[in-house]
Structures are given as C-alpha cells and as structure tokens.
Amino acid sequence: MNRVLASRGWTPRAIGHTGYGSPDFVRILGRLMLTRHPDDVTGTGDSGEDEVALEPEPRVRGWRAFMTAQLMNAPVVIDVAGVEHEAYSDRSGYIDVTIDGHDLPPGWHEVTITPVGGTPDTATVMIVDPAVRFGLVSDIDDTIITTSLPRPLLAAYNTFVLHEQARHIVPGMAPMYRELLEMQEGAPIFYLSTGAWNTADTLNRFIRRHGYPRGPLLLTDWGPTNTGWFRSGQQHKRVNLHRLAREFPQIHWVLIGDDGQHDPKIYGDFARDRPDVVRAIGIRELSTTQQVLSHGLPVSIEGFGPRVRKPVPVLRAPDGYGLLRQMRALLGQV
C-alpha cells in the first residue's frame, strides 16, 4: 500500500507527540504517515498552555483519525538540541526512541522529527529535574473525562464522534491536579490510558481546554500483536507504571483512576510490587448509572485489597473535590 501511495505522489509526514525525560535520557514519541498534502494531518504535540480558548477546530476528526496510512520501518532524523539522531519507525509507523545523553535542562523543550524526504514536525518533551520527588499518574476515561456511554462503545465513540465538546469533565479533577502539582515545582503528570494514539490530538485539546496540567500521554496502538488480535490494556498500564518507576526512581507517585474497570487492581498490584514509590492511590467512585455503563452491573466489579509490604493509602470519592480534601489531609496541605 505504501508503495502505491508513494507512486501517486504521497509523501512522508511526521506527527510529534509529547515526550519526556531526565538529564540522563529523553524519550521521543511520534508517528510517520503518508499524506497527499502536508496539511492533511495535524500534529498532536502540546503547543503550549497559552493556546486554550481560541485555538481552531482540528482538521482531522472522528473516523478520519483512524483512516490513516502509517509509514512503517522508515528512517527519520531526530534533532535534539542541535544534535541529530537517526532512528526508524516501527511496523505501525510509530516512533518511540530513547536517546541517552543530551543538553536539555529541566523544563519544556521542542525537538524536531524529520522523515527522510518528507515533512518534519516538532515534538514537545518534558525534562524532569532530578531534584523532583513527587509526581502524578492519571487514567483518562471516567477519571478526567466522562462520556455517559457503555465502555464497549467507547472505542466506537472515539472513532466516529465529530465533536470533542461532547465529552464532559469530571468535576474537581483539574483543580485537584493543579493543586497537587504545586506541592513541588516541576512535578510531572503522566496521562496513562488504554486509548489509541489516534485520539491523542482530541485528548490534548480536551486537557488544555479544561485546565488540566500539561503532561505526556502514554497511549497504545490498536490492532493485532504477535500473540493475539488485540492488545492488552491492562498490560500496557502495568508496563508503563514499572517503566516510570525505573526511569524516575526518586519520585513518589500518586496514582489516580476510577473503579469502573481495572484501575484498582492494576494500581494495587503496582503498589504491592513497588510500595516504596507509591505515595497514595486515589480512586474516583463511579455512580450506579456509570457503573452499569462501564460493565453492566450497578456496583464495582473490582475489590481493592492489595497485599503490600507496607500500607499504601487508598482514597475514594465520587469527584476531584472529595479526593482533594483527603489528599490535603494525607499530604499535609492546608
């Protein structure tokens, strides 16, 4: 397919996602596509917090975000602080490259991803100061966003919905995240979700529009793997939690999720395995209606009783305001 499109004049186009790192490494995330015109695909990197109210509507919406021609196993040049690094996209067109050693100080920076013979894009990267000792990991669906749709239909919704304004915020979550991150300057937040990378543009716009703190999305790819037809969302979350613990061993994490699906068990297992890096777990309790939409029952299907070597506080509330009151008491905030 790629050869056919290339023969018809389609050219490579980079899409930069938000990456992260420390003074020792930087993880670059993005994707390579084939497009007929350079403007056919919009990038999904976070362009800054000052572009919230009046940013234009996206040119790619709904199902069109999934009808894409990924460019697999293609060479790219990644420019980090003036130093070029060569890499390749994977078999789904994604770029996930870790570069050791760079000259980026702590803070937010831009790197450039350039496909050979194609159109480049910038990717924002967050470099975490090694002095930071606190950070957040947040789920997305039913934790910061609610759609009032059954979980089995969320994938179809994310594919075919025309307007991201149809999504609604979970009350109090954005103020809670902002206040918690003010505990320590430079504290990071990661949005860890089983959602597809194709929805990253919509999710980034939602996060900026509703005042959620800026942070990398850790999403997944749809489609078959070497072991099955569909990827494991639970495994995706477990792998990334342990990766963050290895990459930032000095950080104590507050993990935020909901009780609609598997967050309590995933976070509980992680707290059992790595109790020394988990400061607290916050679980947003879904209403009866939301529980039914989530898994067909009016109560949570997930008990929460992690067997850990030392107690990890578990806080529960139906929204961010209730969780924040408990977090203030736990973390010593007034």
> pLDDT band for position 10 (50/70/90)?
confident
- CATH for the stretch 2-127: 2.60.40.10
List pLDDT tens digits, range 170-225. Answer: 999 999 999 999 999 999 999 999 888 888 988 999 999 999 999 999 999 765 44
Domain boundaries, the chain: 2-127, 134-331
Q: Give the integer Cα–Cα distance in Å for 333 and 317.
A: 18
pLDDT of 246 above 50: yes
Nearby residues of 235 by Cβ (< 8 Å), 6 or more positions away: none
Q: Is the pLDDT of residue 139 over 90?
A: yes
**Average pLDDT for residues 220-244, to the nearest whole number?**
72
Coil, strand or helix: which one is 308? coil
DSSP reduced 3-state for 280: strand
Distance CA 298, CA 285 (A): 12
What is residue 67's predicted lDDT score, i.e. its pLDDT? 46
Q: Which helix (H) or strand (E) holds 268?
A: helix 263-273
Give dist(CA 330, CA 12) in Å, integer: 50
pTM: 0.84
User: What mean pLDDT, rounded, does the chain reach?
Assistant: 81
Strand-pairing partners, residue 21, are 26, 127
- Of residues 157 and 184, the one with the higher pLDDT is 184
Does the pLDDT of residue 236 top 80, yes or no?
A: yes
Q: What angle do CA 251, 283, 27 make, to 5 degrees?
A: 35
Please tell me the class of the 134-331 domain: alpha beta
Structure tokens at 70: 């990924």
Taking 60 as the threshold, does the pLDDT of residue 80 lie above it? yes
Span 147-151, mean pLDDT? 58
| Residue 268: per-residue pLDDT | 94
pLDDT band, residue 78 (cuts 50/70/90)? very high
CB-count exposure of residue 287 (10 Å: 0-12, 13-18, 19+): exposed
Higher pLDDT, residue 124 or 196? 124
Backbone angles phi and psi of 169, in degrees to 5: -80, 155
pLDDT for 129: 98
pLDDT for the residue numbered 40:
53
- Per-residue confidence (pLDDT) for residue 14, from 0 to 100: 96
Burial class of residue 226 (count of CB atoms within 10 Å of its CB; 0-12, 13-18, 19+): exposed
**Mean pLDDT across the stretch 48-70?**
46
Q: What is the mean pLDDT of residues 309-334?
A: 88
Would you say the CATH fold of 134-331 matches that of 2-127?
no
Distance CA 28, CA 85 (A): 11
